Amino acid sequence: MARIAYAGNKGTYLASGALGFRESNPAVYIPGASTTGNTQSRRINPNFGPVGLFSSDNNSHYHSVRFNIEKRYAHGLTILGNYTFSKMMDDFGNSGTTNPFNRRFDYGRSNDDVPHVFHFSGVWQIPNMPLHGLAGRLINGWSLSGVNTWSSGFPISITSGKDNSLSGVGADRADYVGGAPGLDTGRSHADLIQQYFNVSAFTFNAPGTFGNSGKNILRSPRSFNTDMGVLKDFRANERMAFQFRTEFFNVFNNVNFSAPSTNLASASVGKITSAANPRILQLALKFRF
């Protein structure tokens, strides 16, 4: 069976609690008279310090096309494959407000925007052999299962790491100065982890500004993962059975890199310093009744 579908949603008046607060008492930049030392005196209301507003005024929209193909269970085999092409936009800051004077400044790709996702899974009950007794109990009753996932990386913003806006928020993005911001991802792993994106295409934002680079303009590395399981059922009687499971997570031991450092003020900017789990083997025994 094959199926194609559209799925979308529109979010209005979304709560921002889990995403951070909006600064409601930022410092106002005064050309030639602004320093980090006089941040408090430049606040909209200097009688108060930072004022975090957790509000329900955020917005998002999501569109996707989904392709699905399925072989339903027959002769001990079932297969399911699906691919989703999507886009998600919102006006949430990466960790709260970036520019407290301009809501539209944080409009862009959502932190959860993953445009390409492909899943392929299946279960195969291996046919039983015409054996009886102990040999039949050991050789028959085995099953194989697997799940493959290919997906794009999550979006990332390039941050300044300095409060050059002198707003007291400290979430400025970097300035884009030209050149290709991304680098060829076909490079070796050794090259990727040393410089994932073109650091020289960015610089610290100018004083009094919040950076001209867009929200989430680059992506972290894509991922590929395969999990497999080998299952054996031992039936004690009609009501009770044991299931022995051998499960392999990331069975091919593929390296799935985490996002690089995107803070220009950090000595490790552009570098990848971690990765997802390597191959993991797990043994389990389950009792069903």
Can you tell me the distance from the alpha carbon of 80 to that of 270, in angstroms, rounded to the nearest whole number?
Answer: 38
For the chain, the residue count is: 289
* Residue 207 is assigned to a structural domain of this protein: yes
pLDDT value at 56 more than 90:
no
* Residue 33 is assigned to a structural domain of this protein: no
pLDDT value at 213 more than 80:
yes
Q: Identify the band that residue 19 occupies on the pLDDT scale cut at 50, 70 and 90.
A: low
Mean local confidence (pLDDT), 223-244: 88
* Residue 54 is assigned to a structural domain of this protein: no
* Residue 221 is assigned to a structural domain of this protein: yes
Locus of tokens 């303009």: 217
pLDDT value at 93 more than 80:
no
* Residue 21 is assigned to a structural domain of this protein: no
Q: Identify the band that residue 154 occupies on the pLDDT scale cut at 50, 70 and 90.
A: very high
pLDDT > 70 in the chain, percent? 98
Can you tell me the distance from the alpha carbon of 93 to that of 103, in angstroms, rounded to the nearest whole number?
Answer: 9
Mean local confidence (pLDDT), 105-114: 93
* Residue 86 is assigned to a structural domain of this protein: yes
pTM: 0.85
Q: What is the DSSP letter of 16?
A: -
pLDDT value at 42 more than 70:
yes
* Residue 266 is assigned to a structural domain of this protein: yes
Q: Identify the band that residue 241 occupies on the pLDDT scale cut at 50, 70 and 90.
A: confident
Domain extent, residue 270, equals: 2-8+63-288
The pLDDT assigned to 66 comes to 97
* Residue 71 is assigned to a structural domain of this protein: yes
The pLDDT assigned to 4 comes to 98
Count of domains for the chain: 1
The pLDDT assigned to 75 comes to 87
The pLDDT assigned to 183 comes to 83
CB 175 within 8 A of CB 211: yes
Residues with Cβ within 8 Å of 37's Cβ and at least 6 positions away in sequence, in order, are: none
Can you tell me the distance from the alpha carbon of 278 to that of 286, in angstroms, rounded to the nearest whole number?
Answer: 25
pLDDT value at 17 more than 70:
no
The pLDDT assigned to 22 comes to 84
